[in-house]
Amino acid sequence: MTGTIAKSRESFEQPRVPSQPLKKISLQRGIIYGPVPSRRLGESLGINLLPTDHKLCSFNCLYCQYGWTKHVTFAPGEQLKNLPSVHAVEAALEASLSVLGRDRKKIDSITICGNGEPTLYPRLADVIVAAKKLRDRYQPQARLAILSNSSTVGNPTVRSALDLLDLKIMKFDAGSEAMFRRLNHPAAPVYMGEIIAGLKQLKDCYLQSCFVQGRVTNADVDSVAMWIEKIREIHPLAVHIYSLDREPADKRIERVSRTTLEWIANEVRWRAGVASEVF
């Protein structure tokens, strides 16, 4: 084990990844977007339950593709007025699915994601129930998925809603409270311990973990070792590992190499006994 770490430590002494221009992405402009090709989800039709003119999130991740979160919050308050009703989501989804059906296009997944953290939407379970019915009618082969930042997973009501889905992909990037705060900048009062406890109770979830370097790095040997301890504790179905693909909010962080990501994935398999794949 020590040999593995020592050998891996050498890999961090390689030159940094040559900087390549990262693509910029804009906020989603409607309730439904796509289908878009996704490395993990295939042809995926997106559902955005959040505002279309700003990001609504409980985190402010350094690597966020949508830029900085202006008001990091768990209690959207006034911002709830900007969210679509369940009926509006249902109508928009049905319109998109019927166009896909008319064009005889099959999709692989319907994914709740969008401009921020989707579990902040107050009637998430109702949306999922409605989306499931439409999925069964129009695209029964498609998986109903969510990409969540895990900030609300300590809440049993949110967990019950998430358990209605076919695929739960939950963010988990840091192995310590300090790294969690530096990388994800959560709104108070969320603590990593509550997230871990919630993820342990969530059935059959996948974790997604983004690794970066530069002003903040979670890809060094010590950070990875602490993070793997938590992965072992949560024991998800698998961990999806990736680095920057789009321009990050903080321009002082950089992508880590594919070699490093592959090393991290191997460590997850070897030290935590959990399946892992690099995307």
Contact indicator for 59, 45 with CB cutoff of 8 Å: no
Rg (CA), the chain: 19
Which residue's CB is nearer to ligand SF4, number 60 or number 213?
A: 60
Which residue's CB is nearer to ligand SF4, number 59 or number 211?
A: 59
Q: Is there binding between residue 64 and ligand SF4 (CB under 6 A)?
A: yes
Q: Which residues, numbered 108-167, are part of the site for ligand SF4 (CB under 6 A)?
A: 116-117, 149
Which residue's CB is nearer to ligand SF4, number 130 or number 210?
A: 210
Quick one: which segment of 62-70, 196-204, 213-221, 226-234 binds ligand SF4 (CB under 6 A)?
62-70
Quick one: which segment of 64-72, 98-106, 193-201, 223-231 binds ligand SF4 (CB under 6 A)?
64-72
Which residue's CB is nearer to ligand SF4, number 70 or number 87?
A: 70
Q: Is there binding between residue 60 and ligand SF4 (CB under 6 A)?
A: yes
Q: Is there binding between residue 90 and ligand SF4 (CB under 6 A)?
A: no
The CB-of-87 to ligand SF4 minimum distance in angstroms stands at: 25
The CB-of-232 to ligand SF4 minimum distance in angstroms stands at: 23
Give the torsion through C-alpha atoms of 133, 137, 105, 168, to 10 deg.
30
Quick one: which segment of 17-25, 56-64, 99-107, 119-127 binds ligand SF4 (CB under 6 A)?
56-64
Which residue's CB is nearer to ligand SF4, number 61 or number 265?
A: 61
Residues in contact with ligand SF4, counted by CB under 6 A, come to a total of: 11
Q: Is there binding between residue 61 and ligand SF4 (CB under 6 A)?
A: yes
The CB-of-107 to ligand SF4 minimum distance in angstroms stands at: 23
The CB-of-8 to ligand SF4 minimum distance in angstroms stands at: 27
Q: Is there binding between residue 190 and ligand SF4 (CB under 6 A)?
A: no
- Nearest to 153, CA basis, from 106, 119, 113: 119
Q: Is there binding between residue 173 and ligand SF4 (CB under 6 A)?
A: no
One-letter-per-residue 3-state SS of the chain: CHHHHHHHHHHCCCCCCCCCCCECCCCCCCCEEEEEEECCCEEEEEECCCCCCCCECCCCCCCCCCCCCCCCCCCCHHHHHHCCCHHHHHHHHHHHHHHHHHCCCCCCEEEECCCECHHHCCCHHHHHHHHHHHHHHHCCCCEEEEEECCCCCCCHHHHHHHCCCCEEEEECCCCCHHHHHHHHCCCCCCCHHHHHHHHHHCCCCEEEEECEEECCCCCCHHHHHHHHHHHHHHCCCEEEEECCCECCCCCCEEECCHHHHHHHHHHHHHHHCCEEEEC
Q: Which residues bind ligand SF4 (CB under 6 A)?
A: 55, 57, 59-61, 64, 66, 69, 116-117, 149
